[in-house]
Amino acid sequence: MHRRTAARTRARACAVAALTAAALLATGQPATAAPRADTADPMNRAFAEAAREYGVPRDLLAAVGYGESRLDGHAGTPSQANGYGVMHLASNPANHSLEKAAELTGKSAATLRRNTAANILGGAAVLRDHADALGLDASERRDLDAWYPAVARYSEAEKTAAVLYADAVYTFLAQGVSATVAGGEEVLVPSRPVDPDKGEFSAFDAHVLSTDYPSALWVPAYSGNYVVGRKAAVDKVVIHTTQGSYAGSISWYQNPSAKVSAHYTIRSSDGEVTQSVREKDTAWHAGSTNSSSVGIEHEGYVDNPAWYTEAMYRSSAALTKHLAARYGIPKNRSHIIGHSEAPGATHTDPGPNWDWNHYMRLIDGDPAPGGDGLTFSSYTTQKSGSTGPQVKAVQTLLTAQGYEAGAADGSFGPTTKSAVQAFQRARSLEADGTVGPKTWTALLSAGTTPALAKGASGDAVKRLQRALTAALGTTVNADGSFGPATETAVRSYQTSRKLSVDGQVGPATWGALQSGT
């Protein structure tokens, strides 16, 4: 490895300034608190012990973990790139960090996937292995700035994608990190000036801008992960969650084995946008909807709302408004949809933590989901004094069942409450006039009760899907098509209600739904 000299190049100084500026922009002010001296808390202890074991700076290790997962192991479930745990130890054709960590630590892959302390130890071992391959000596390993190439290599990305990854880690070091993790434990990384030696990666700074959307960077996907051209006119925008990190997802689109891509990806911390597929081409992101849509991925995981920052919402909304104007896309929930709402979808993203009402307001659009006023990704409790589209849905459903709910004006007043109570009494529910999960389930499933099974379609299937969303508390795509995801939801409902579990909807399942069970 070439030794660093005391002199800094102008380009490197500019990179440092950009990192520090990005840090301050993302946080408003630098974090200055030092990490806790008492490392009795399990994650702090794990970072301290792994850093000591493998000679990796503790704060660097924590910043890598924060960039990968926000220090959330997701109970051992994998990312879209088959990466696991706080340190995103991966096992895919381009990244074998899980296997490498097992070899270096002597721990099994199963333990590294699920045990947070082992996962952090594995991440430290892999980082040290990259440092050794680069020739960092003991003195250089004590210098955070010398680790930049090792961090870039840890991503297993190439060129610009690797730089995006390492830059994010050094931005977290510059701005500091304060994260509350499971059990209320606080993990801190103090802010500090950063001056990374980019080494072999200095030639790949992200600077090429998109020609479709000048606010975006251009980092192209592998040519085999999308189709050149389109077979249909663009009339939709599909909102996704990456189930992984920003740079990691962009890198995944470059992986020949991925067979997925998106037109745009948006970073959580500051709303940075990267384009990977031209709008004129068909990205592989939402099945049968691909040809007629632009796909926007958002960094994060569906089970953690912390990823959905205001910077991300506003950046994404600006992009969607731009696309709507360019292609004449109606700004309603029939044309601005989630991945879970695409016909035949088996994914649940962006999930219940995505704030559709806020997003649609930001694009000056109509927040009514699905264009029918009845379909929502989740159903929240409605009661006297409530207002909004879900109250309007309650009023519409009650009127359809012959109850005098008053005008469908989205205002929950005395007339609506009386109608709710009458409906509840008819279904032997507690007549409290509040529309909670049980009343929602009964209201949404009300109507005819045809036998339904995989392959069925139509309004009865859509009623079933809405009712299952209310009953299970998880989004079931209400597309009117009884596919594998709906069958799985039916089985889950039947299991939880101690019904015969066959994945089909007959009298017993309809009866349970319509009674609000």
pLDDT of residue 12: 41
**Boundary (domain end) residue, out of 150, 175, 201:** 201
pLDDT of residue 296: 98
* Beta strands 217-218 and 186-189, pairing class: unpaired
pLDDT in tens, 408-437: 888 999 999 999 999 999 999 999 999 999
Q: Where are the alpha helices (DSSP H) in 343-388?
A: 356-362
Amino acid making up residue 359: Y
Please tell me whether residues 356 and 446 are part of one structural domain.
Answer: no
pLDDT of residue 344: 73
Asked whether residue 107 is domain-assigned, the answer is yes
Amino acid making up residue 511: G
Please tell me whether residues 191 and 235 are part of one structural domain.
Answer: no
The CATH number linked to 121 is: 1.10.530
**Boundary (domain end) residue, out of 364, 397, 431:** 364
Tell me if 300 sits within 8 A of 316, measured CB to CB: no
pLDDT of residue 315: 96
Nearest C-alpha neighbor of 158 from the set 211, 208, 221: 221
Please tell me whether residues 110 and 229 are part of one structural domain.
Answer: no
pLDDT of residue 76: 87
Q: Which domain holds residue 148?
A: 42-201
Domain total of the chain: 3
Asked whether residue 25 is domain-assigned, the answer is no
Please tell me whether residues 181 and 48 are part of one structural domain.
Answer: yes
**CA 253/CA 321 separation, integer angstroms:** 25
Please tell me whether residues 341 and 194 are part of one structural domain.
Answer: no
Nearest C-alpha neighbor of 424 from the set 410, 406, 411, 405: 405
Please tell me whether residues 398 and 271 are part of one structural domain.
Answer: no
**CA 285/CA 347 separation, integer angstroms:** 11
Asked whether residue 7 is domain-assigned, the answer is no
pLDDT of residue 368: 60
pLDDT in tens, 332-376: 888 899 998 887 777 888 988 898 888 998 998 876 655 577 888
Average of per-residue pLDDT values in the chain? 89
Please tell me whether residues 282 and 396 are part of one structural domain.
Answer: no
- DSSP structure class, residue 184: G
Please tell me whether residues 87 and 227 are part of one structural domain.
Answer: no
Please tell me whether residues 138 and 182 are part of one structural domain.
Answer: yes
Token pair in block for residue 90 = 């991966």
pLDDT of residue 288: 85
**Boundary (domain end) residue, out of 201, 231, 251:** 201
Asked whether residue 373 is domain-assigned, the answer is no
Encode the chain (517 residues) as per-residue pLDDT tens digits.
Answer: 443 433 333 344 344 434 443 443 333 333 444 444 444 689 999 999 999 999 999 999 999 999 999 999 988 899 989 999 999 999 998 899 999 999 999 999 999 999 999 999 999 999 999 999 999 999 999 999 999 999 999 999 888 889 999 999 999 999 999 999 988 999 999 999 999 999 999 888 767 889 999 999 999 999 999 999 999 999 999 999 999 999 999 999 999 999 999 999 999 999 999 999 999 999 999 988 999 999 999 999 998 888 999 999 999 999 999 999 999 998 888 889 999 888 777 788 898 889 888 899 899 887 665 557 788 878 999 999 998 888 999 999 999 999 999 998 889 999 999 999 999 999 999 999 999 999 999 999 999 999 999 998 888 999 999 999 999 998 888 878 898 989 999 999 999 999 999 999 999 999 999 999 9
Please tell me whether residues 89 and 150 are part of one structural domain.
Answer: yes
pLDDT of residue 39: 47
- DSSP structure class, residue 306: G
Nearest C-alpha neighbor of 290 from the set 364, 342, 351, 350: 342
**CA 469/CA 345 separation, integer angstroms:** 15
